[in-house]
Amino acid sequence: MEWETVIGLEVHIQLSTQSKLFSGSSTAFGAEPNTQASPVDLAMPGTLPVANAEAFRYAVLFGLAVNAQINHRSVFERKNYFYPDLPKGYQTTQLAEPIVGAGEVHIQLADGSTKTVRIHHAHLEEDAGKSLHEDFHGMSGIDLNRAGTPLIEVVTEPDMRSAEEAVAMARHLHSIVTALNICDGDMSQGSMRFDVNISVRPKGEEKLGTRTETKNLNSFRFMEDAIKLEVERQIDVLESGGKIIQETRLYNGDTRTARAMRSKEESMDYRYFPCPDLLPVVFDDEYVEHLRQQMPELPEAKRQRFMDSYGLSAYDANALASDRGTAAYFEAVADDSGEPKLAANWITGDLAAQLNQTETAIDACPITPEQLAGLIKRLADGTISSKIAKQVFTAMWEGEGTADEVIEKRGLKQVSDTGALEKMVAEVIASSPQQVENYRNADEKKRPKMLGYFVGQVMKTSKGQANPQALNEILLKKLEE
Amino acid sequence: MHKLSLAELAKGLRDKSYSSVELTEHYLDRIKRLDGNYNSFITVTEERALEQARAADQALAAGNTSPLCGVPIAHKDIFCTAGVKTTCGSRMLDNFVPPYDATVVENLGRAGCVTLGKTNMDEFAMGSSNETSYFGLVKNPWDTNCVPGGSSGGSAAAVAAQLAPVATATDTGGSIRQPAALCGLTGLKPTYGRISRWGMIAFASSLDQAGTLARSAEDTALMLGAMASFDPKDSTSVDKDVPDYTAALPDKIAGLKIGIPKEYFGEGLNAGTEQRVKEAIAELEKLGATLVDISLPHTHLAVPTYYVIAPAECSANLSRFDGVRYGHRCDDPQDLLDMYCRSRGEGFGNEVKRRILVGTYALSAGYYDAYYRKAQQIRRLIKQDFMEAFKQVDVIAGPTAPSVAFPFGAKKDPVAMYMEDIYTIATNLAGLPGLSLPCGLVDDKPVGLQLIGGYFEEARLLNVAHQFQLATDHHRHTPANID
């Protein structure tokens, strides 16, 4: 039987506000345990929450970015459960009346097509602290620095049909929140975490299959892997006559395995009710309009603009527009060099590979956009060949200066001077009589391949600096003689 | 000195008839000698009190004009006091020393008040007799075989026994007004949001409100002016100017329309109490007020509504007492569940557990609509009753409690105990201000007259009470054995 995968996401986005959702404590990552926990965060008796207006602003910006209904009145509720890293014994969150209602986004798929994914809603809530189970001699340590950090939880409709689509959606959300500058997007620090609801159904069937939820995936790679694993498992179960149990599952990225955590029957009754310590969050049209004016250009619009005004392919435009830093870098290089396509190729090619390999963020790239533009200009005006350009690129990465400086210092200027090239060609022809003989006797079809030998020899003598086009012309002429 | 009112004490301090240190020593001495009879204090902060008194004397010498500067007071042990144990009447917090002051404590400290100590109370303010305290029951100075009322029983007993001229208190369903009635005091629960809840340990957040227990409306007005403030640390605090509550006290009440709700004089009201309350209302009429018969038709639903909402909120509010970060933790927990179960099992008393269970049930899947949601709907109806009434009248008057102080152990059935608050609870559900003032005795025990006003009409309630107290001397009656 052919199966169809159905995926919905719940995404936790940690907001980069200065202070927590309900207290003035800092939200900075990496401080000594419990140094960023005030009496409010510790849920000391008699303390009260005061909501952080900046978090509302971030949530509204997000809502506008996903074309969603902005609810002018939203209500915080208490979600009750006991856990040592949940100081109050309840999480303050939103349920019946979230700040962001239904919306939709358009994601770019690998084949260049776009797909609409609907957003069910997005709400504000506070994060829990962390339980540390090692190094405490059989006890657990509690770090409440993270407790109370503001999150937006985004819940999508089950609109994705493959792991690839789910990851494309996740990446799209990542690009939106980083473009809005409301989240640092650092997945390694848990700034974005994904819960994935997965079910399968026979192709053509409309009724949804029983779903499972795989929780807390914190990288795109894990997400893709976990989905594929779960889809495979569900199909195996169904094909061998079994039934899917609605359950929560945990994926382990190290072993690439997943296990059931708890089934629906064991699921908790959170006894939600409106938090009596907080008033409903209310704002007017003017506030929303004011924020709409402040919206930066979003990845979707940027992608279109890169295609329209720089003539990029959908694929390149998507790759460059998704990340705010990369997009800005590209625009600087493209504008400075006047060669947007070359700029796109270098940034998605050599530069991306080098950044990736050295785990460097684009903002910390040792090659400035001006320097890369300088390189591209020399490539475009024929001063250097693309082969030499790679050498110049490496030198610039190592900090040897601008492209012109590197070219000058290392003497990498391309030899286009006909006299010099003719001399080199003459030497090669003189020292390779057999090859010349063979070439001249060969038929037309075989000749281009045989020409490679002579090009190689001249390149060797010229240390790669011979202008390939000029060299080709001279060689052909000389060999015909 | 302990016979004097706040205004008189303030005058004496300014005239240098005595210093704040002398006044404080006098009260500390009385507490030491007499509180064994009442158990009204959980903690007496002698050294700090004297330190504060010395500072107040310096401030007075430097010309401080705050009317409360140098006056000793007591705080209900529900208000967090930096560096001083704050128990909320519970074993759970027997070891808890907060690093911060409640806003009420801070405001009164700024006004120059000297804190004598922390008063006893029903555990987590859950009770109407002060019998649920982990620190022992509190005895009514009028009859030490009887309860002082609750939950602010310690504050009420301390002021009635003149161990403090005034005390702070809190009221979630009647916890200021009912003890005021049972101990012959003037007790005010202001409008919800008038006084900050920051640092006041929560029982039911949408109902809890701080106030005072004092010996007169005038003393109450002085206290309220110093306690009330807008507090950015409490989202439910209302940003509204604090008037001089003493300014309107002298106003005559001729022409004032007083509503008499028929539902407050029905079955369950003790005949003697009814008699005293009606006499008091007649006195108000004599002072020129017009009496208007009114109806608050949903009154009979107030107690059941309250006993869904208050437990629901408390079930979440008390989840933080888990033995993890502060408070009681059981010995040698075997695992997490064992730590939770035993810490909470040992730390909380039966009434607290009963309410957590009731509240948890009311919020459970499948019951939420029938209980919590329904209760919220009725809460709106109860509020509407009052809004309708206040279209016709300025103030509502009736009994505070159904009877006078009762003997210990007399109300073992929780529901019988809950009916103690039958006349006070609706005010909390509506968020309105309510005041109880003494209006005579039955069997040598005090009876309370309750006045209910519109939102932020504290000044009017105090004015009516003050005019009544100018015309009568019920508030001057003290327990027979107080010297």
Is B100 in contact with A279 (Cβ distance < 8 A)? no
Q: Which of residues 250-269 of A touch B (CB under 8 A)?
A: 269
- Polymer length of chain A: 481
Interface test with A, best of B105, B170, B205, B320 (most A CBs within 10 A): B320
Task: Tell me the per-residue pLDDT of B298-318, one tens digit each, with 9 for 90 and over.
Answer: 999 999 999 999 999 999 999
pLDDT band at B1; cut points 50, 70, 90:
confident
Fold for domain A418-480? Arc Repressor Mutant, subunit A (1.10.10)
Which residue in this structure is represented by tokens 């939950």?
B151
Q: What's the CATH number where B349 sits?
A: 3.90.1300.10
Inform me whether the pLDDT recorded for A452 exceeds 90.
Answer: no
Is B102 in contact with A46 (Cβ distance < 8 A)? yes
For residue B151, say if its preceding peptide bond is cis, omega within 30 degrees of 0.
yes
How far is it, in rounded angstroms, from Cα B170 to Cα B189?
Answer: 7
Report chain B residues whose CB lies below 8 A from the CB of A269. Answer: 364-365
The Cα of A153 is separated from the nearest Cα of chain B by a number of Å equal to 23
Higher pLDDT residue, A137 or A295?
A295
C-alpha distances (whole Å) from A471 to each of A254, A416, B21, B283 are 53, 8, 106, 119
DSSP output for B257-319: EEEEEGGGGSTT--HHHHHHHHHHHHHHHHTTPEEEEE--TTGGGHHHHHHHHHHHHHHHHGG
Domain range for B100 is: 1-483
How far is it, in rounded angstroms, from Cα A30 to Cα A184?
Answer: 14
Query: What is the DSSP pairing of strand A150-156 with strand A3-14?
Result: antiparallel
Query: Cα-flanking dihedrals φ and ψ of residue A280, to 5°?
Result: -55, 145
Who's near B327: CB < 8 A, 6+ residues apart?
A: B92, B93, B95, B96, B321, B343, B347
Q: Tell me the average pLDDT of chain A.
A: 92
Full strand arrangement of the beta sheet holding B257-261: B41-44, B114-119, B72-76, B167-171, B209-214, B186-189, B434-442, B445-453, B395-399, B257-261, B290-294
Per-residue b or e along A273-297, where b marks 16 or more CB atoms closer than 10 Å to that residue's CB: bbbbbbeebebeeeeeeebeeeeee
3-class secondary structure, A91: strand
| A121 at B interface, C-beta within 8 A | no
Higher pLDDT residue, A418 or B243?
B243
pLDDT band at A457; cut points 50, 70, 90:
confident
- Count the domains in chain B: 1
Per-residue model confidence (pLDDT) at position A414: 73
C-alpha distances (whole Å) from B350 to each of B132, B208, B353 are 8, 21, 5
Residue B388 CB coordination number (10 Å)? 13
Long-range own/partner contacts, residues A375-378 (CB < 8 A, 24 or more apart): A375/A346, A375/A403, A376/A333, A376/A337, A376/A339, A376/A342, A376/A343, A376/A346, A377/A337, A377/A338, A377/A339, A377/A403, A378/A403, A378/A404, A378/A407
Is B80 in contact with A45 (Cβ distance < 8 A)? yes
pLDDT band at A97; cut points 50, 70, 90:
very high
Nearest to A89 among B100, B202, B319 (CB): B319
Task: Tell me the per-residue pLDDT of A220-244, one tens digit each, with 9 for 90 and over.
Answer: 999 999 999 999 999 999 999 999 9
Full strand arrangement of the beta sheet holding A76-80: A90-94, A76-80, A273-274
- Residue A200, beta-bridge partner list: A5
Give catalytic status of residue B235 as yes or no. Answer: no
CB B25 within 8 A of CB B114: no
Residues above pLDDT 70, as percent of chain A: 99
Residues above pLDDT 70, as percent of chain B: 100
Interface test with B, best of A48, A133, A270, A272 (most B CBs within 10 A): A48
- Which one, of B134, B128, B159, lies nearest residue B38 by Cα? B159
How far is it, in rounded angstroms, from Cα B465 to Cα A74?
Answer: 42
Q: Look at A169-183, A442-456, B9-23, B61-75 and tell me which has the smallest mean pLDDT.
A: A442-456
Per-residue model confidence (pLDDT) at position A450: 81
Q: Tell me the average pLDDT of chain B.
A: 97
Who's near B372: CB < 8 A, 6+ residues apart?
A: A273, B308, B309, B312, B362, B363
Query: What is the DSSP pairing of strand B257-261 with strand B395-399?
Result: parallel
pLDDT band at A30; cut points 50, 70, 90:
confident
Who's near A86: CB < 8 A, 6+ residues apart?
A: A128, A129, A147
Per-residue model confidence (pLDDT) at position B96: 98
Report chain A residues whose CB lies below 8 A from the CB of B100. Answer: 39, 44, 47
Active-site residue among B19, B40, B76, B343?
Answer: B76
- Which one, of B311, B270, B253, B238, lies nearest residue B440 by Cα? B270
Per-residue model confidence (pLDDT) at position A429: 85
Higher pLDDT residue, B7 or B431?
B431
Chain B: residue whose CA lies nearest to A140: B336
Higher pLDDT residue, A264 or B178?
B178
CB A117 within 8 A of CB A25: no
Inform me whether the pLDDT recorded for A333 exceeds 80.
Answer: yes
How far is it, in rounded angstroms, from Cα B293 to Cα A285?
Answer: 46
Task: Tell me the per-residue pLDDT of B346-393, one tens digit each, with 9 for 90 and over.
Answer: 999 999 999 999 999 999 999 999 999 999 999 999 999 999 999 999
The Cα of A364 is separated from the nearest Cα of chain B by a number of Å equal to 41
Query: Cα-flanking dihedrals φ and ψ of residue B326, to 5°?
Result: -160, 175
| A432 at B interface, C-beta within 8 A | no
pLDDT band at A424; cut points 50, 70, 90:
confident
Which residue in this structure is represented by tokens 């409100």?
B209
Compute the count of residue pairs across chains A and B with CB atoms less than 8 Å apart. 103
Q: Look at A77-86, A88-97, A294-303 and tell me which has the smallest mean pLDDT.
A: A294-303
Per-residue model confidence (pLDDT) at position A315: 87
Mean pLDDT, range B199-228, rounded to an integer: 98
Mean pLDDT, range B37-59, rounded to an integer: 98
Active-site residue among B128, B133, B155, B175?
Answer: B175
Is B80 in contact with A88 (Cβ distance < 8 A)? no
pLDDT band at A475; cut points 50, 70, 90:
confident
| B363 at A interface, C-beta within 8 A | yes
The Cα of B393 is separated from the nearest Cα of chain A by a number of Å equal to 30
Mean pLDDT, range A197-215, rounded to an integer: 96
Q: Which two tokens stand for residue B358?
A: 């009731």
Per-residue model confidence (pLDDT) at position A38: 95
Interface test with B, best of A131, A136, A271 (most B CBs within 10 A): A271
Query: Cα-flanking dihedrals φ and ψ of residue B216, to 5°?
Result: -160, 165
Report chain A residues whose CB lies below 8 A from the CB of B198. Answer: 46-48
How far is it, in rounded angstroms, from Cα A156 to Cα A10?
Answer: 6
Task: Tell me the per-residue pLDDT of B256-301, one tens digit each, with 9 for 90 and over.
Answer: 999 999 999 988 999 999 999 999 999 999 999 999 999 999 999 9
Give catalytic status of residue B76 as yes or no. Answer: yes
Inform me whether the pLDDT recorded for A390 exceeds 80.
Answer: yes
Per-residue model confidence (pLDDT) at position B12: 95
| A369 at B interface, C-beta within 8 A | no
ipTM of the complex: 0.96
| B361 at A interface, C-beta within 8 A | no
Task: Tell me the per-residue pLDDT of A263-272, one tens digit each, with 9 for 90 and over.
Answer: 776 778 999 9
Query: Cα-flanking dihedrals φ and ψ of residue A155, to 5°?
Result: -115, 120
Domain ranges (residues) in chain A: 3-290, 297-410, 418-480
What's CA B117's distance to the chain center, in Å? Answer: 16
Interface test with A, best of B322, B377, B428 (most A CBs within 10 A): B322
Report chain B residues whose CB lies below 8 A from the CB of A78. Answer: 316
Is B206 in contact with A276 (Cβ distance < 8 A)? yes
Per-residue model confidence (pLDDT) at position B225: 97
- Which one, of A354, A350, A15, lies nearest residue A181 by Cα? A15
The Cα of B77 is separated from the nearest Cα of chain A by a number of Å equal to 12
Which residue in this structure is represented by tokens 């106003």?
B251
| A34 at B interface, C-beta within 8 A | no
Per-residue model confidence (pLDDT) at position A137: 81
Inform me whether the pLDDT recorded for B84 exceeds 80.
Answer: yes
Higher pLDDT residue, A418 or A170?
A170
Query: Cα-flanking dihedrals φ and ψ of residue A382, to 5°?
Result: 80, 5
CB A245 within 8 A of CB A233: no
Per-residue model confidence (pLDDT) at position B377: 98
How far is it, in rounded angstroms, from Cα B206 to Cα A25?
Answer: 26
Higher pLDDT residue, A461 or A376?
A376
Task: Tell me the per-residue pLDDT of B190-203, one tens digit each, with 9 for 90 and over.
Answer: 999 999 999 999 99
